[in-house]
């Protein structure tokens, strides 16, 4: 994708926006090689996340689930942020207030410098005790006990700090995300099929609040019809071009 031309109405909204929400999904991490944890070869290649990322799986076979997450942690540690993460971080200098709401657990937004970050599905970087809730660094927990979940002083087991299938989103984080969506002037949805509820409800909140909506996703989503601007391209191509266009719009002399 070469350059993005903002339609006139969108340009006006970009020029005046003070509060911006970026909502990111798996597509944003695709060019970092993390859109899927399959296909890398080896022991875990044929495992389905749905069969391991559940409280039931952890109860039935905590060692297996822990080892799978140790492997995923390692893959994320070896991955690098890509141009999509960099473009989103760059927007922090363009708008007075920007908050990144992500469905990703890989911390790549944090590593590239996004400061206002809400991780709706938790983070692979943390572990917490399944009994008392004590939190600790996941890398240290894996180093201490690579083959099985470390045992907490309370007798509970440490588990990955991610939201599993069948679990609800962290309440406070989700509320902050809803408030941000309901009070923003510009809402940018990137690399998400927007089909996972309740996260996708953020788009509806922003729409009801009258925000200008922009979508970046190769395929249409259930919300494509609501969008003021839709870029049908991978996040790693479209986001840098969009950030360029927004900079030109906000800083017309450059």
Q: Tell me which residues touch Zn ion (CB under 5 A).
A: 129, 131-132, 134, 152, 154, 156
Q: Across 97-157, where does the E strand assignment appear?
A: 97-102, 117-119, 122-129, 135-137
109 is catalytic: no
- Which residue lies nearer to Zn ion by CB, 30 or 157? 157
From the CB of 150, what's the least distance to Zn ion, in Å? 10
- Which residue lies nearer to Zn ion by CB, 81 or 149? 149
The catalytic position among 85, 109, 121, 207 is: 121
Can you tell me which residue has the tokens 């995300």?
A: 177
3 state SS of 191: coil
From the CB of 141, what's the least distance to Zn ion, in Å? 12
Query: Which phi and psi angles does 19 have, rounded to 5°?
Result: -120, 125
- Which residue lies nearer to Zn ion by CB, 150 or 156? 156
- Residue 24: which H helix or E strand, with range? strand 19-24
From the CB of 154, what's the least distance to Zn ion, in Å? 3
Report how far residue 97's alpha carbon sits from residue 120's, in angstroms, rounded to the nearest whole number.
19
- Which residue lies nearer to Zn ion by CB, 145 or 193? 145
Find residue 60's DSSP bridge partners.
Answer: none
By CB atoms closer than 10 A (0-12, 13-18, 19+), residue 208 is: exposed
From the CB of 246, what's the least distance to Zn ion, in Å? 45
| Residues catalogued as catalytic | 121
């Amino acid at each position: 994708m070469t350059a993005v031309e903002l339609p006139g109405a969108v340009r006006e909204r970009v020029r005046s926006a003070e509060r911006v929400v970026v909502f990111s999904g798996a597509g944003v991490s695709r060019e970092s090689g993390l859109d899927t944890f399959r296909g890398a070869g080896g022991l875990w290649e044929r495992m389905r996340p749905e069969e391991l990322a559940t409280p039931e799986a952890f109860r039935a076979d905590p060692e297996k689930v822990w080892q799978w997450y140790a492997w995923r942690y390692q893959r994320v540690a070896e991955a690098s942020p890509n141009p999509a993460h960099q473009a989103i971080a760059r927007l922090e200098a363009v708008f007075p207030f920007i908050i990144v709401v992500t469905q990703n657990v890989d911390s790549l937004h944090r590593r590239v410098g996004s400061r206002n970050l809400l991780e709706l599905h938790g983070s692979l970087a943390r572990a917490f005790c399944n009994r008392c809730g004590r939190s600790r660094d996941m890398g240290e927990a894996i180093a201490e006990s690579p083959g099985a979940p470390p045992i907490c002083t309370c007798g509970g087991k440490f588990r990955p700090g991610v939201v599993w299938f069948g679990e609800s989103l962290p309440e406070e984080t989700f509320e902050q995300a809803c408030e941000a969506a309901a009070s923003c002037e510009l809402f940018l949805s990137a690399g998400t099929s927007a089909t996972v509820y309740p996260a996708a409800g953020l788009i509806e909140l922003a729409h009801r609040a009258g925000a200008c909506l922009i979508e970046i996703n190769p395929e249409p989503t259930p919300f494509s019809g609501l969008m003021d601007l839709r870029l049908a391209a991978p996040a790693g191509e479209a986001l840098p071009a969009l950030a360029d266009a927004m900079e030109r719009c906000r800083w017309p002399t450059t």
